[in-house]
Amino acid sequence: MGKLKPFMLERNFLILMIGVFINGLGSGIYLVAGMLLVLNLSGSVFYSGLAMFAISSAGVLSFLIAPLANYAKYKNGLVYSNLIKAIILLTLPLLHFTIGLNVWYVITLLFITALFTQYTYPIESTILPLIVGEDNVIEANSYLQTVREAMDIVFIAGAGIIITFIGTVSAISIFAVCLLLVSLLYTFLNFKQPDISKDKSKSIGAVTNVYFMDLKAGFNYIRNSLVPKMIFSIVFINIAMVIMTTNLPAFSLMKGNGIEAVYGFYLASLSLGIMIGTIVSPKLKHIDFGKLIITAYIGTGIVWIGAATLPLIASLILFCIGAISIGITNILVFSAIQKQVETAYIGRVITLITSAAALGMPLGSLIGGLLGETFAPELSIFICGISMVIFSIFWLCSPVLRKLPGIDRAKLFNNGEAKGVI
């Protein structure tokens, strides 16, 4: 058994790890309960598409939210944003047991909650290198993501069964309580925040000007990087992914002969695949990144086409195998960003990339909802598999992307381009 890395015993990293663990207790149930609640209230796959549209729209807006993270202490941002999310979610059981719930209110609530997530995610990404050091970023990300996915596997898989006994609204309440605990836990964080000075003027015009300067700094940082060359293919693949996930509840009910728990099994299968990719990603960082992506996503496309057409058990296994490439890509790309980007820009760069990547997701949600209403749900899974193969072909045809070296050697950013803008 290998020795524990020193950063794993660091106080702040342990707090962050426990926070991720507690969050995972409820987030898996929340993911299943939220989509099933919309489906139950509306009785329509199209409304599931609208719910996914709302959540993905929050992702598109994340580049506008990212600069706000630098206007408060990172610790305070984590504490209060999780607290507010918990309070918002607790309005669901309150309304449910009093005047009743409306599907539009639920969709709006999912959107607002997703907006707060766009605020906390870049903060977590920013503080990790400060806590563990740049040399340990890939390993630390791998450990954190492994905990996330492991919790998702357990609680998403059991979510359908739990919801059967306590209902969707009570299940969402569990997540709200977990957020309250996470908010309390993060009050014990204690790390040195970099000095990011801001204009303290009370003039609204001055504050607005600084905000847009920060926003521009993030754009300048990635403008001459490899990121713009990658964005088109990522947007394309995200459209396909959302078309698939929008129809996954209906697809699961079809494969499971109407058993709601099967939806949880498919989401758990997805999480298991991502977790496997997360675990193996540190071992793959020396492989040429371009070749790794091309090979992995061609494999994903083939097995997901199989998942769309084969019986339940085989479909679940192939669905899991196809998700491994997602876990590998997430860890390697975001770890490279955290290592190569200056601390003051990490949050903005990550959210600009995720915002750009999410541009097609609202469109994919609407397309997925319409496809689900018109055709059999397995068509959407099949389309996603074909799209993965097309994605790989695009990378294969691009000399720059095809020839990318191992992620530790790939220079994604021209550091210094944005200096002086902050």
**Each residue of 24-35: pLDDT tens digit?**
777 767 777 887
**Predicted confidence (pLDDT) at residue 401 exceeds the cutoff of 50:** yes
**Predicted confidence (pLDDT) at residue 188 exceeds the cutoff of 80:** yes
Q: Which pLDDT score, from 0 to 100, does residue 112 have?
A: 87
What is the CB neighbour count within 10 angstroms for residue 15? Answer: 18
pLDDT-based confidence at 184, cuts 50/70/90? very high
Return the percentage of the chain with pLDDT > 70, whole number.
69
| Tokens 């009370």 -> residue | 202
pLDDT-based confidence at 157, cuts 50/70/90? low
Q: Which pLDDT score, from 0 to 100, does residue 87 have?
A: 92
**Each residue of 78-127: pLDDT tens digit?**
888 889 989 998 999 899 888 888 889 888 888 888 888 777 776 777 77
Q: Which pLDDT score, from 0 to 100, does residue 1 have?
A: 39
Q: How many angstroms separate the CA atoms of 375 and 397, rounded?
A: 33
Q: Which pLDDT score, from 0 to 100, does residue 192 have?
A: 73
**Predicted confidence (pLDDT) at residue 419 exceeds the cutoff of 50:** no
**Predicted confidence (pLDDT) at residue 422 exceeds the cutoff of 70:** no
Please compute, for residue 282, the number of CA atoms within 13 A of its CA located in the half-sphere on the CB side.
Answer: 13
| Tokens 């926070």 -> residue | 19
Q: How many angstroms separate the CA atoms of 60 and 121, rounded?
A: 14
Instruction: Tell which wins on pLDDT, 198 or 177.
Output: 177
Q: How many angstroms separate the CA atoms of 274 and 329, rounded?
A: 10
pLDDT-based confidence at 194, cuts 50/70/90? low
**Predicted confidence (pLDDT) at residue 201 exceeds the cutoff of 50:** no
Return all residues near 327 (Cβ < 8 A) that are at least 6 apart: 145, 149, 273, 274, 275, 276, 277, 278, 279, 281
pTM flag (> 0.85) = no
Number of domains in the chain: 1
Task: Tell me whether residue 385 is in a domain.
Answer: yes
Return all residues near 194 (Cβ < 8 A) that are at least 6 apart: 130, 343, 344
End-to-end C-alpha distance for the chain, whole angstroms: 46
**Predicted confidence (pLDDT) at residue 4 exceeds the cutoff of 80:** no
> Quick one: how far is CA 33 from the chain centroid?
18
Q: What is the mean pLDDT of residues 249-262?
A: 80
Q: Which pLDDT score, from 0 to 100, does residue 253 have?
A: 80
pLDDT-based confidence at 421, cuts 50/70/90? very low
- The mean pLDDT value of the chain amounts to 76
**Predicted confidence (pLDDT) at residue 176 exceeds the cutoff of 80:** yes
Q: How many angstroms separate the CA atoms of 228 and 222, rounded?
A: 8
Domain residues for the domain of 19 are 13-189+218-402
**Ranges of H-type helices in 61-167:** 62-65, 74-96, 103-132, 137-166
Task: Tell me whether residue 396 is in a domain.
Answer: yes
**Predicted confidence (pLDDT) at residue 5 exceeds the cutoff of 70:** no
Instruction: Tell which wins on pLDDT, 410 or 204.
Output: 410
What helix, strand, coil percent values describe the chain, rounded to 5? 80, 0, 20
Q: Which pLDDT score, from 0 to 100, does residue 298 have?
A: 92
**Each residue of 297-356: pLDDT tens digit?**
899 999 999 998 888 899 999 999 998 888 887 777 767 766 666 666 666 676 667 666
Q: Nearest to residue 408, comparing CAs of 330, 327, 343, 337?
A: 337
Is residue 378 within 8 Å of 384, Cβ to Cβ? no
Task: Tell me whether residue 176 is in a domain.
Answer: yes
Q: Which pLDDT score, from 0 to 100, does residue 303 have?
A: 93
Is residue 68 within 8 Å of 119, Cβ to Cβ? yes
CATH of the domain at 143: 1.20.1250.20
Q: What is the mean pLDDT of residues 370-380?
A: 81
Task: Tell me whether residue 199 is in a domain.
Answer: no
**Predicted confidence (pLDDT) at residue 200 exceeds the cutoff of 60:** no
Q: Which pLDDT score, from 0 to 100, does residue 63 have?
A: 63
Task: Tell me whether residue 202 is in a domain.
Answer: no
Please compute, for residue 51, the number of CA atoms within 13 A of its CA located in the half-sphere on the CB side.
Answer: 30
Task: Tell me whether residue 301 is in a domain.
Answer: yes
Is residue 293 within 8 Å of 392, Cβ to Cβ? yes
Q: Nearest to residue 329, comparing CAs of 191, 421, 233, 205?
A: 233
Highest mean pLDDT among 139-153, 154-168, 187-201, 374-388: 374-388
Q: How many angstroms separate the CA atoms of 331 and 213, rounded?
A: 29
Instruction: Tell which wins on pLDDT, 358 or 322.
Output: 322
**Predicted confidence (pLDDT) at residue 244 exceeds the cutoff of 80:** yes
Task: Tell me whether residue 206 is in a domain.
Answer: no
Q: How many angstroms separate the CA atoms of 124 and 75, rounded?
A: 9
Distances (CA, A) of 405 to 17, 190, 397: 31, 37, 16
Return the percentage of the chain with pLDDT > 90, whole number.
7
